[in-house]
Amino acid sequence: MEDAGQKLKRVRERLNLRYRDVEEASLRIAEKHRNSEFVIALSRLADIENKGTLPTVYRLYSLCAIYRLDFAEVLTWYGVTIAGLPADAASVTVERTHLIGFEANGQGEMQLPLALDPGIDLRRTTYLSRLIQRWGKLPLMMLNGIDLRSHRYAFIGTEDWAMYPLIQPGSLVLIDETKRKIVNSGWTNEFERPIYFLEHRDGYLCGWCNLNESQLVVQPHPASMCNPEVYSYPDEIEVVGQISGVAMRLDQGKRRRTHS
């Protein structure tokens, strides 16, 4: 914390700003937002710089605005990395299915293989972990295989068995928000049939759908042993989009038998 305060102090000194200048600037920001929490008093700024006092989110915002600093970068000075949010969220078990609010932006990064064994044959099933020569970080926006502007991510709750075994509990799914129209026919097997991600007043769910005028039937996979649900459409339920990708574990069926 003290190191972060010293960094802020060095930035202020490079800008040739006095404590009084920072306080007056923060007063203008507070007045603009009609919130006194943005104000940085002289004594508080001195404590932040010299005693390692942790600034509130409002005061940190004011400092970033006054010093022209990137908020996410300054957070890293205090040991908080925005890019780590998805990984930390994945380590927390949530029983209910829900949308993921993390957006792909300039701060988002993920670990990707930057170099592969040149002898790898991608036509064959391969244990990639043994063949990856080097891992590195790449911004999410550099992934060009998916139009991230029209896609969102969601987490299938650890107790949501509706589409088991096609989609296992605890899966991460990719949702195409451009495909919200319910299609009642046009597939030849269960793998081709669209799976929709939906929102209702009590939360979220996913499943096959059949729309008959204003009645929407959400059909689970027969093997899940879950019951179909019927909603008045669009009054009681909204189609978020169509599930276009899934990352999941394959041992959930064993866990279900263990707990049943």
Q: Which two tokens stand for residue 87?
A: 């990984």
Q: Is residue 247 part of a domain?
A: yes
Same domain, 152 and 254: yes
Which domain covers residue 61, as residue numbers?
A: 2-77
Q: Collapse the DSSP code of 57 into the 3-class scheme (helix H, G, I; strand E, B; otherwise coil) and give the result.
A: helix
* Domain endpoint, select from 18, 42, 77: 77
Report the pLDDT value the prediction gives residue 95, as an integer from 0 to 100. 85
CATH number, residue 241? 2.10.109.10
Same domain, 164 and 243: yes
Report the pLDDT value the prediction gives residue 154, as an integer from 0 to 100. 84
Same domain, 252 and 171: yes
Which residue pairs from 123-131 have beta carbons closer than 8 angstroms and sit at least 24 positions apart in sequence?
none
Report the pLDDT value the prediction gives residue 87, as an integer from 0 to 100. 73
Report the pLDDT value the prediction gives residue 173, as an integer from 0 to 100. 86
How does strand 229-232 pair with strand 215-219?
antiparallel
* Domain endpoint, select from 20, 45, 77: 77
Q: Is residue 86 part of a domain?
A: no
Q: Is residue 160 part of a domain?
A: yes
Q: Is residue 109 part of a domain?
A: no
Strand residues in 90-214 grouped as ranges (E): 98-100, 109-116, 132-139, 151-155, 172-176, 196-200, 203-212
What are the pLDDT tens digits along the chain (260 aa)?
459 999 999 999 999 999 999 999 999 999 999 999 999 999 999 999 999 999 999 999 999 999 999 999 999 999 998 877 877 877 788 888 887 776 655 455 544 444 555 665 545 534 444 444 444 444 444 344 445 556 778 888 888 999 999 998 888 888 888 999 999 999 999 999 999 999 998 888 999 999 998 999 999 999 999 999 999 999 999 999 999 888 877 776 666 655 55
What value does the CA radius of gyration of the chain take, rounded to a whole number of Å?
Answer: 25
| 224 secondary structure, DSSP code | G
Same domain, 250 and 152: yes
Distances (CA, A) of 92 to 95, 204, 226: 10, 18, 25
Q: Is residue 114 part of a domain?
A: no
Report the pLDDT value the prediction gives residue 149, as an integer from 0 to 100. 58
Same domain, 67 and 165: no
Residues 6+ apart with CB under 8 A from 35: 58
Same domain, 152 and 255: yes
Which residue in 113, 106, 149, 147 sits closest to 128, CA to CA? 113
Total domain count, the chain: 2
* Domain endpoint, select from 77, 99, 132: 77
Q: Is residue 43 part of a domain?
A: yes
Q: Is residue 192 part of a domain?
A: yes
Q: Is residue 110 part of a domain?
A: no
Same domain, 155 and 249: yes
**37 within 8 A of 27, measured Cβ to Cβ:** no
CATH number, residue 47? 1.10.260.40
177 vs 173: CA distance, rounded Å: 12
Same domain, 153 and 253: yes
